[in-house]
Every structure is written in structure tokens, then in C-alpha cells.
Amino acid sequence: MDNSLAIHPDQYAGSGGTGGHWTDIGEVRTYRREGRIIRLSCAGGEVAIRFYTEKIARVVMNPAGEPELGWNPHVLVLEPEDVQIKAAESEHEIELATGGLTVRIRKSPLRISFYDAEGREFAADGERGMGSGPRGEVACIRRTGDSDRFYGFGEKAGFLNKRGEKLTMWNTDVYAPHNPETDPLYVSIPFYLTVRDDGRASGLFFFNTFRTTFDLRGGTEHSFLAEGGQLDYFVFAGPTPKDVIAQYSSLTGRAPLPPRWALGYHQSRYSYETEAEVRELVATFKEKGIPLDVVYLDIHYMDGYRVFTFDKGRFPNPRKLIEDLRAEGIRVVPIVDPGVKADPAYRVFSEGVRHGRFCRYLDGQLFYGQVWPERSAFPDFTDASVREWWGDLHSFYTELGIEGVWNDMNEPSVFNESKTMDLDVVHQNDGRPATHRELHNVYGSLMSGATYEGLKRLLGGKRPFVLTRSAYAGIQRHAAVWTGDNRSFWEHLELCVPMCLNLGLSGVPLCGADVGGFAHDSNGELLARWTQLGALMPYFRNHSELKSIRQEPWSFGAGTEEIVRRYVKLRYRWLPYLYGLFEEASRTGLPIMRPLLLEYPDDHHALAVNDQFLLGTDVLVAPVVRPGQTKRMVYLPAGAWVDYWTDERLEGGRHVIVDAPLDKLPLFVREGAIVPLASERMSTETEAEELALHLYPSTAGLPSEYALYEDDGRTFSYAEGGVYEERIRATPSSPNRLDVDIRVVRDGYVPGWQRRTLVIHRAPAGLQVFLNGSELTLESRTGGTATYRL
């Protein structure tokens, strides 16, 4: 624990930052074009500029030599396009324009500013611009506009807008409570969006894997700094927040469709320690009628914490267990940490040592660190042959019927003072050796990438699922991210909303927090509220710590159990809508769970909302995040909204106070929306019998549209046309007539529903509904809700 020594004046000396012996990039001495790359030789270093698209530019400054643009530790996936650049040089300036983005370079000293397609400046160097420090630091100082708000930055505690904060990227295992100031955490995504008052947005990705710091505290300037390497950044011209995310995710990749089972309800505990305990757990879910897709095996399943083993006493027959659970529609996901126990009699270790798979110092000595299995070696995932070896080791699991793996401790976490691997370990890095100091932040991502690719090779066409704690930019291509060791605090319930929203803005759609809280002790009310929220977050897992009170759905009595059951079931009902959003994310990079600012960037009230979110464009979730609260204020953006529970219509563009008794999650559907909901089921393994299209007709007579997407949810056949898609359009032709058109546009997959209905909310009495021209007969009517068979 820190005491006041932490703020002793001496602690501030040499604490980094951009002070000290700073070398400004200085004046431009020569300027030349080499194909598509613009090179500037400056007093304080060399600079290269390259356009990747008309709206994405890369700036690289190397204080010590020619900028290197080729190195890529599996982060970038975009090849530069052949962009036409109009270049103009005058005495004081160089201008590079693509039509979508203009880069203006002042020559003496070099200062860069960026303009959008309409000629508006959206980002610019400050009084000081790029430069380098005495210990190899590189930094860039930029102007901060009066109304600039900063979002993204991956996994960070605190509220959505990071203006006023100083944030560090250095993947760290933080068991201590995640306070608003607790930084860094497990994930480094050095990307941010700037959103201005008028809703215009731009973005920046600082492509540097060293420890980096973003200082957003100043009123007029902000900066980003890395402890080493090049100053290498990408600029995204926007101009909307959605454009920026599309641009960033085109650069670092998009998430493939997860297997549908990864979107069901997951139950975890550190640990379900024996086969009998797992069987009892699953039986209880069944007996209590609570749907379940996955049970996690935490570290106790292993033989002395050796990865790729089972403890024979605790789990005498894992194959049978996995098979039996599978027959109930439930999958098992085991934890796999990077630390490999240093035990010469253990095959993974001895083979790894023999073939040079582990991290070493320059002199060839292995690096050992203490983790759960005590003295352990760590695979060097920066090398292709190690990634392949590691991936192949997963046949141990896949042969038992396992299709998903949970990567933990992959910062990597080590039980020592620095909390991680020694910084002077030299990684092989695919033939470009580099220290751990440089590659620390990508270690976890490379491990999860190796795991995903290995599982993909082994699963014969099935989609793998990988969950990771540590990550770098681009992780979305391989794994889901959960926010690590939170606690059963109401504050942490509140915190996980902006945290996951910023993760989503940073390209990671499949993310979530431990529902109920990991450390500390949960309670019925907290679990009820957290499950309500988790049910509509992208990733939904209840997980808790060894010594904490149990927090399975039934742990706090019948009242809580009933609420938890109701919301786990709600999750399964909402899967078609959620799955559609995952499909969209796989194409566009847009998050599932969206801050209001993404859809309403020029609405000042929307920009300030931290405790509500949108699912896609049409659904608004306003969780209760305080104990004892039975009402809450909700901000409804412009338009009209319908209360999901009561069908009450509420005019938007204002704050409302809504009732939220303990069994109610405030939930609203945008008027005019179509939301596909499925009938209940006990796991995603069984098909939903019914699919209902819920229509909330526009009272302004506007048509409603929705593209319904389905595929098998298990394989990659969607990439080869195994897709069902229909376009639905419902037009209120007159107050009493609704014309619905359903057109199948892709039929490479046949959905398993046996029954389809159209459910019209707030339907006027006497409404006539026509489907592709023929009148439908009313099947049933409850209050204002009319149901038709399709």
C-alpha cells in the first residue's frame, strides 16, 4: 500500500513527461517523394508521411534514422491504397491533399495540421510539436480545442470522456480495486477519438508498443509520449464518430463472427474445483430452469497448475464430463495462462526448452517468473514457430471436445515487484529481436492470436472462442476481452458501462465485466442489477473469486433467483437482435454497445451520458447502478421511444424519470424500429422455435426497415454464402393500414425457426396488415399488441 512517501518531492524528479532535454523536430531541411511516401529530413529527426486511404494518413518520426514503416507485430491489417496525392510546396509550407484529407506542414519548425474534406482543421500540432527526449522518448504535442472530448483508449477506468486525465498504456495485472484513477490496467489500445461540439470527429492511433502516456490534462494542448521507438501515428479524418471507428477498424481489423454459444449466459467461479461440483452446478441450472451455455474451469482443473493437463483426482474423466455437458447443450471453457511450470518431467516445459520456445535474456538464459505453478517459463509468442507450437498444443483440449479457451495472466503477470517479465528479456520477434520493454504490450495479444489460430486449425471449420484479459490494438480479430478483477461494488457496476463503451469505441465489440463482481462479496440486489445489465452487454459471464461468497443465480434466495432467471432468459430472447449487431460489427467495426454520442454526436446531453447505452441504433438501456434505487433519470435522445415493458410512448429530446423496481431494467425501443426476438431456450445449442419481429410503428407515418441476418452460428460457412438475410420494410400507408414487405435477399442458410410472427406494438384497433400485398389474419391481441402469424 502507498503511504505519504508516494508524494515525497523526490518522487517527482525524472518522472518522464515532455520536459527536460527536449529535442524539437526542428526545421525541415529537405523534402522528397519516394513513390507514395513523403520524406522530410529535419533538424531533430527524419519524418515519413504515407496515406493509407484518402482519409487515413500515417506520420512516422524517427529521431535516430530513417523511419521504418514495415514492422508490424500483427497489429495492422490494412495495406496502403494507391492514393492520389496533390502536393504543393511554398517557401514556408508543404501541402499534401487527397480530397478526403489535407496535411499541411509548416517548415520552420516542422508543425503539422490536418484538414477534412471540407477544409476544416480537425487536428494540429501545438506550440511544440514532435520531438524526442534524452532517454529515447518520443512525443507529440497537439492543440486541444475548447470543445474537444476524448474517447476510446481501450480499457480504462473512469467515465467516458477522458479529457483532464493522464493515461498510460502498459498492460498490468491489477488486483487492487479499479478506482477511477487506477491506471494502467490489462489492455493497451493507444487509440482515441476527438469529438467536437458540432459532432465532428477525428481519430488518432499511436502505433508504438512501448509504454506510452497520453496527457489530456492541459486546457489548450495534449500530448502522447512513448518511452522508446518511433513516433508513429495514424490520423483518421472522420468526420463522424462512426466514420472514425470504421477507419480505425479498417486499419487494425474487425471481429469475426463469434460462435453463437459465446453469446449465451456463462457461469464461472475461481474455481469449480471438481468434476462433481461442475455436474452439480449444471444440474442446478437445469433444475431451476436457468439457461446456460458455458461453464468455465479456472486454475484448479489442472495438475499443479500445469497448462494442458487435468488433475486426475479432481477431474478423473474430463472427456466424459465434457461429453455429458455437451449433451445438455453446455460447453466447457478452461483457463490457459502463459506461465509453463519449470518441471523437467512436464512435457510442455521440457519440449519447450529443447526447442527454444521460451523467453530468454540476451545471453541465452531462460527468464523464469513466479506465477500459479511457481517457477515458470514463458513462451515467446513474438516468434511464428512458437505461436504455431502453442496453437497446436491446444489439440489437448479440442480432442476432449473443447472449443473455447480463456487466456488469463497474459500481460504477462508475474508475482514480483515489477509485476511482469524483466524488461531486458530479448524476444525473437519474427527475426527482428526486441526487448520486452518494447514488446510487453503486445505479449497478451500475440498469445491470444496464437490460441485462436491454433483452435481454428484444430476445430475443423468450427468457430473458436477465446477470452483474454490482456490485449493490444487489433485484439478484436482473435478474442473477447473482459475487464479483469473488478469487485462486487456498486461503483464497479457503474464503472463497467463507460469502460466497455470505450472498449467498443476502440474496436473491441465483444467485451464485458464479471457479472456480480469478482472480488469482495456480492449480494442479492447487486447480483440482480448486474445480471440485468449483463444480459444486454456483449459478453455475459458471472465470475467470482475463491474466497468470496458464492454468487450463482440462486445464491441469494428465491427473489434474486427469480430476477436473475428472468434476465438470463431475456438474453436468449434478445439473441437474434444481438447477433445481427455482431454481424454488423464484423463488417463495419461498429460496437454492439454504443455510447449515445455515437448515434447523436451533436447532442450535448447525449455526449455527457455515462450510465446509459444503445444497442445498435434502436434500443436504449438505462441500468440501475445504485442500491435501493427504484426510479432513475433517463435521457431519451431526439425522436420517440417506447418503454419495452409497458409500451408507453415517450417523446425524446428530454430527460424523464422512469420507474425501476428491482425486477425492472429500464429498456426502450426507438419508435419506428423492428426488433427480432426469439422464443426462450435453455442454451443456444437448441434452435429457438419461434422468431418474432417486433414492430414499433412510426407515428409519423415513416417506414420501418430491418435486415434480418442468420447463419448456422457455429462454422465459417457464412464466409462462403451460408447466410440467410431478409429485408423487412413496414410502411404505415394510412393510420389503419400497414404494408409489410419481406424480401429474402440471401438464402444460403435455412433458419431453424418453426414459427414466425409479426408483433405490432401500439397497434390501433381495426388495423389491417398486409404482407407482400396479402392481408394477414390477426392471431391474437393483448392490449395494444397485435400478433400475426407470418
Residue with cell 490482456: 470
Please report how close the Cβ of residue 336 comes to ligand GLC at its closest, in angstroms.
10
Report the amino acid identity of residue 281. L
Of 111 and 543, nearer to ligand GLC (C-beta) is 543
Nearer to ligand GLC, 530 or 706 (CB): 530
Q: Which is nearer to ligand GLC, 47 or 496 (CB)?
A: 496
User: Whole-angstrom Cα distance, residue 39 to residue 62?
Assistant: 11
Strand order in the sheet with 266-267: 511-512, 480-482, 465-468, 404-407, 331-336, 294-297, 266-267, 541-542, 514-515
**Cα–Cα distance measured from residue 266 to residue 310, given in angstroms and rounded to the nearest whole number:** 21
We find the least distance from the C-beta atom of residue 272 to ligand GLC, in angstroms, to be: 11
Contact 257, 718 (CB under 8 A): yes
Distance in Å, CB of 519 to ligand GLC, minimum:
8
The C-alpha atoms of residue 543 and residue 519 are separated, in whole angstroms, by: 9
* Choice between 214 and 270, CB closer to ligand GLC: 270
- For ligand GLC, the closer CB: 440 or 569: 440
Minimum distance from CB of 482 to ligand GLC (Å)?
8
DSSP codes joined into one string, 246-288: HHHHHHH--PPPPPGGGGS-EE--TT--SHHHHHHHHHHHHHH
Q: For residue 499, which of 159, 192, 228 has the smallest C-alpha distance?
A: 159
Pick the closer one to ligand GLC by CB: 201 or 335: 335
Q: Are strands 294-297 and 331-336 parallel, antiparallel or unpaired?
A: parallel
Is cis: bond before 134, omega within 30 of 0?
A: no
C-alpha cell at 291: 439457461
Q: How far is the CB of 171 from ligand GLC (least distance, A)?
A: 13
Q: Which amino acid is at 474?
A: G
Q: What type of residue sits at position 738?
A: L
Give 360 or 419: the residue with its C-beta nearer to ligand GLC. Answer: 419
Give me the half-sphere count of Cα atoms (radius 13 Å) on the Cβ side of residue 407.
31
Grid cell locating 154: 481501450
Burial of 365 (0-12, 13-18, 19+ CB in 10 A): exposed
Least Cβ distance, residue 408 to ligand GLC (angstroms): 5
AA letter at 773? G
CB of 416 to ligand GLC, least distance (A): 16
Nearest residue relative to ligand GLC (C-beta): 270
**Residue 341: CB minimum distance to ligand GLC, A:** 15
SS3 content of the chain, % helix, strand, coil (to 5): 20, 35, 45
Residue given cell 530468454 in the structure block? 360
Residue numbers annotated as active site: 408, 411, 485
CB of 337 to ligand GLC, least distance (A): 7
Residue 716 CA, distance from chain mean position = 21
Q: How far is the CB of 414 from ligand GLC (least distance, A)?
A: 13
Edge-to-edge strands, sheet with 723-734: 704-711, 723-734, 737-747, 768-771, 774-775
Q: Are 85 and 51 in contact (CB under 8 A)?
A: yes
- Among 708, 667, 476, residue whose Cα is nearest residue 578: 708
The torsion angle over the Cα atoms of residues 668, 673, 674 and 678, rounded to 10 degrees, is -10
Nearer residue to ligand GLC within complex by CB, 178 or 427: 178
Residue position matching grid coordinates 474537444: 148
Burial class (CB in 10 A: 0-12, 13-18, 19+), 64: exposed
Burial label, 22 (beta-carbon count in 10 A; 0-12, 13-18, 19+) = middle
CA dihedral 434, 440, 441, 442 (to 10 degrees): 60
How far is residue 780's CA from residue 495's CA, in Å, rounded to a whole number?
Answer: 43
Q: Smallest distance from the beta carbon of 484 to ligand GLC, in angstroms?
A: 5
Burial of 602: CB neighbours in 10 Å, binned 0-12, 13-18, 19+: middle
Residue 222 or 306 with smaller CB distance to ligand GLC: 306
Binding residues for ligand GLC, rule: CB under 6 A, are: 270, 298-299, 335, 408, 469, 484-485, 518, 543
Q: Which of 513, 522, 593, 600 is nearest to 555 (CA)?
A: 522
Cα dihedral 302, 303, 307, 310 in deg (nearest 10): -60
Half-sphere exposure of 28 (CA within 13 A, CB side): 24
Closest distance of CB 155 from ligand GLC, Å: 13
Q: Which is nearer to ligand GLC, 253 or 373 (CB)?
A: 373
Which CB, 215 or 273, lies closer to ligand GLC? 273
In the complex with ligand GLC, the residue whose CB is nearer, 184 or 253, is 184
Provide the minimum distance between the beta carbon of 758 and ligand GLC in the complex, in angstroms, as a whole number.
43
Decide: 42 and 26 in contact? Cβ < 8 Å: yes
Q: How many C-beta atoms lie closer than 10 Å to residue 484's C-beta?
A: 21
Residue 435 vs 468, nearer CB to ligand GLC: 468
